[in-house]
């Protein structure tokens, strides 16, 4: 599912909690590192991209 109203850090935190619950604490740290990098990269791309046509402003 994709729910745009849920902030990416909240999604990442839930994934970390699931990883810790179903694996080890190290798995939670690993998932946090990967998703944190993805979130930062996507934010940087969004900041450097021109606005989409029809996007309000």
pLDDT, tens digit, 9 for 90 and up, residues 25-51: 899 999 999 999 999 999 999 899 887
The C-alpha atoms of residue 48 and residue 4 are separated, in whole angstroms, by 20
- Split at pLDDT 50, 70, 90, the class of 10 is very high
The C-alpha atoms of residue 27 and residue 15 are separated, in whole angstroms, by 10
Q: How many CB atoms lie within 10 A of CB 28?
A: 19
User: Taking a C-beta distance cutoff of 8 angstroms, is the pair 28, 19 a contact?
Assistant: yes
Instruction: Read off the pTM.
Output: 0.75
Query: Domain coordinates of the chain in residue numbers?
Result: 8-48
Query: In the numeric block, which tokens belong to residue 16?
Result: 């970390």
């Amino acid at each position: 599912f994709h729910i745009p109203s849920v902030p990416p850090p909240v999604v990442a935190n839930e994934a970390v909690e699931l990883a810790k619950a179903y694996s080890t604490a190290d798995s939670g740290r690993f998932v946090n590192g990967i998703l944190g990098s993805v979130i930062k990269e996507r934010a940087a791309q969004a900041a450097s991209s021109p606005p989409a046509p029809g996007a309000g402003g």
